[in-house]
């Protein structure tokens, strides 16, 4: 798959905002602050749950905007493109 993939800037921003709430411990933190594997697992799980809540909050607001047509603004095409972008980025961390 050497073919370049392009997504909307809005999608890239949303993905970046959701991913930035995750804080994984680096090796130094693991040795200094966390004495057990359980502590590291809890930290990772909490970060994952925070990212999931952030994504759920975003989607909740976005879907409400798509469901209610306010004036001339129609968010449905933007949402359709957003979903296409997400599908094209599955399993592509970059």
Residue 72 lies in a domain: no
Tell me what pLDDT residue 34 has.
46
Is residue 49 one of the residues assigned to a domain?
Answer: yes
18 located within any domain: no
User: Has residue 57 been placed in a domain?
Assistant: yes
Domain count, the chain: 1
Residue 90 lies in a domain: no
Q: Which helix (H) or strand (E) holds 57?
A: helix 37-67
Q: Is the pTM of this model over 0.75?
A: no
Q: Domain residues for 56? A: 31-66
pLDDT for 14 equals 94
Sorted by sequence, the CB contacts under 8 Å of residue 18 that are 6+ apart come out as 51, 54, 55, 58
Per the domain annotation, does 4 fall within a domain? no
**pLDDT per residue as tens, the chain (94 positions):** 567 789 999 999 999 999 998 887 776 655 555 456 667 788 888 999 999 999 999 999 999 988 887 777 888 889 999 999 999 998 887 7
């Amino acid at each position: 798959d050497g073919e370049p993939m392009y997504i909307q800037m809005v999608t890239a921003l949303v993905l970046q905002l959701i991913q930035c709430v995750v804080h994984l411990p680096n090796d130094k933190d693991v040795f200094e602050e966390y004495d057990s594997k359980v502590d590291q697992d809890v930290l990772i799980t909490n970060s994952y749950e925070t990212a999931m809540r952030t994504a759920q909050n975003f989607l909740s607001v976005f879907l409400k905007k798509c469901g209610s047509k306010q004036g001339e603004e129609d968010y449905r095409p933007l949402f359709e493109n957003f979903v296409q972008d997400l599908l094209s980025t599955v399993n592509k961390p970059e």
